[in-house]
Amino acid sequence: MSKSSTLLLTEGSIGRRLIAFTLPIFWGHLFQQLYNTADSLIVGNFIGSAALAAVSSSGNLIFLMVGLFNGISIGAGVVIGKYFGARDIPNLQKAIHTATAFGLICSVVLTFLGLAAAPQILVLMGTPPEVLPNSITYFRIYFCGSVGFVMYNFFVGILRSVGDSRHPLIYLIISSVVNIALDLLLIAVFHFGVGAAAFATIVSQLLSAFLCLRQLMKSPEDIRLSPQDIRLDRDMLRQVITNGLPAGIQNSIISLANVVVQSNINKFGEMAVAGCGSYGKAEGFAFLPVMCFSMALTTFISQNLGAKKYDRAKKGAVFGIICSLSAAELTGVCLYFISPVFISAFNSTPEVVAYGVTQARIVTPFYFLLALSHCMAGIFRGAGKAIVPMFVMIAIWCVVRVSYISVITRFIPGINVVFWAYPLTWALSSLIFLIYYKKTDWVHGLER
C-alpha cells in the first residue's frame, strides 16, 4: 500500500475528503450487490422459482449468523481509526494484529455454528417444504467458506479505518467478476443447481480476503500486517469488543427480528417469498448510499475525535447526513417507479412481480428515514458510543417491529401489514436518535 492509498480525514476540506473516501466504498458495495444479485438472476432464470426462493430467503439468516462478527469488525475499525488519527503507531500496530487474530477465531466459530444450526433455524422459520432442501444445501456450502467473508470484513475494516477505501473497491470488482463468471459456468452451462451459487460466492469471497491480506502485508510499516505478530493483546481485544460487540449484538438481534418477519412472509407461500426476495435485491442497491455514508462517517468521526478535532467531527456528521438522506430519497423515488421492470427481471411470474412491487411501493418513499437512522448509528459508533444504536435499534427494529407484526396480523392478516413494519420503525428510531444527538455531548465518547 502506498502512502497515497491512505487518507487522513483529519485535514483538508470536509466535503471533499468525505466524498473522496465514500465514493470507493459506494462503488465497491455496488459490485458486491451486483454479484449477490447475479446469484438470484441466474438461479431464478435457469433453475426456477423454488430455487430463487431458497436463495432469496437466505439473506436474513446469513446476516443473523455473520452479523455478530461483522459488528466486531466495525469495532476494530473504530479502535484502529482512533489510533491512526492520533498517530499512535505502537497502539495502532497492536490493534491491527489483535483484530486479525480475533477474526481468525471468529471464522472457526462461525463455520461450526453455521453448519450445525442453519438447518434447524430454517425449519423454525417455517421455510416452505418445497424450498427447504435447496435452502439447506445453499447454507451448508456457504458456511464452509466462513473464513473468506469474516476475514474479508476484518481486513476491509482495517484498510478503511486508515482511510484506504480504494483497494477494497478494486478487490470487490475482481471478486464480483469471478462470482458472476462461476455462476454462469456452473449453473447456466453445467446445470449444477442452487449449491453452485453458494460455491461461487465463497470462492469470490476467499479471493477478495486473500487480496486484502496481501495488500496489508506490503503496506507502509506503521500499518503493515506481519503474520509473525498476529496475536491477541488483552487491552486491545477489550477495546475492540467494547466498541464492536454492541454493533454485533445489534446486527444479530435485528437479523433475528427480520427472520421473524421472513417467517411471516413465508406463510403467504412460495410466490410471496420469491417476490419479496426479488424486491430485497432491489433494496440492496437502494441501500448502498445509506450504508456507505454510515460506514464513512464512522471512520471520519473516529479519526477526528482521536485527533481531538471536535468541531470538524460535528461538521462532518452534518454533511454526511445531508448527503445520505438526499441520495437515499432520490434512489427511493426511482425505485418506486421502476420496480415492476426490476422485479420481473428475476422472475416474470405475475404473482411474484405483484408481491415485489407492492412491497416497493409501500417502503421506498421512506428511505430517508432509513438513511437518518443508519447515519446516526455510524456517528455514535465512531464516537465510541456503540451501545446507543444497539439499544435503540434492538428496542425499535426488533421488539417494536416484531410486536407490531404479531399483534396487527391477528386482526388484519394481510402481507401489507408486514411491509408497513419497516417505515414505521424507521421513523420511530430516527426520532429517538435525533433527540439523543441534540441533547447529549456525544463528541467526547472516545475519551471517556
Quote the CA–CA distance of 26 and 196 in Å, as a whole number: 27
Q: State pTM to two decimals.
A: 0.76
How many C-beta atoms surround the C-beta of residue 424 within 10 A?
14
- CA distances to 244, 371, 387, 437 from 71, rounded to whole Å, are 5, 18, 12, 22
% of the chain with per-residue pLDDT over 90: 24
Model confidence at 325: pLDDT above 90: yes
CA distances from 230 to 105, 227, 236 (A): 12, 5, 13
Return the pLDDT at 166: 87
Buried/exposed code over 45-65 (b: 16+ C-beta within 10 A; e: otherwise):
ebbebbbbbbbbbbbbbbbbb
pLDDT at 72: 83
Does residue 446 carry a pLDDT above 70? no
pLDDT-based confidence at 6, cuts 50/70/90? low
Q: Mean pLDDT, the chain, as a whole number? A: 84
Question: Is it the case that residue 181 has pLDDT exceeding 80?
Answer: yes
How much is the pLDDT for 59?
62
pLDDT the model gives residue 188 = 82
- Is 4's pLDDT higher than 60? no
Region 418-426 average pLDDT: 91
363 vs 414, more confident:
363
Mean pLDDT throughout 157-183? 88
So what's the pLDDT on residue 56? 65
Q: What is the pLDDT of residue 447?
A: 58
Where do we find the cell 411471516? 264
pLDDT at 57: 62
Task: Report the C-alpha gap between 354 and 293 in whole angstroms.
Answer: 32
DSSP 267: T
Say if residue 252's pLDDT is above 90. no
Give residue 2's pLDDT.
45
pLDDT at 3 over 60: no
- Read off the pLDDT band of 358 (50, 70, 90): confident
Q: What percent of the chain is modeled with pLDDT above 70?
A: 93
Segment 291-324, tens digit of pLDDT: 888 888 998 998 898 888 989 999 999 999 999 9
Most confident of 30-34, 119-123, 202-206, 264-268: 202-206
Pairwise CA distance, residues 101 & 265, whole Å: 39
User: Is the pLDDT assigned to residue 267 strictly greater than 80?
Assistant: no
Least confident of 113-127, 182-196, 206-220: 113-127
Q: CB 404: neighbour CB atoms within 10 A?
A: 16
So what's the pLDDT on residue 5? 57
Question: pLDDT confidence of 244, banded at 50, 70, 90?
Answer: confident
Question: How many CA atoms lie less than 13 Å away from 177 in the CB half-sphere?
Answer: 5
Q: Confidence class of residue 99 from pLDDT cuts 50, 70 and 90?
A: very high
Q: Which long-range contacts (CB under 8 A, 24 or more apart) does 264-269 make?
A: 264/405, 264/409, 264/418, 265/415, 265/418, 266/57, 266/125, 266/126, 266/127, 266/128, 267/126, 268/355, 268/415, 269/128
Give the distance from CA 223 to its chain's centroid.
25
- Residue 373 pLDDT exceeds 90: yes
Average pLDDT on 374-403 reads 90
Mean pLDDT of 29-37: 73
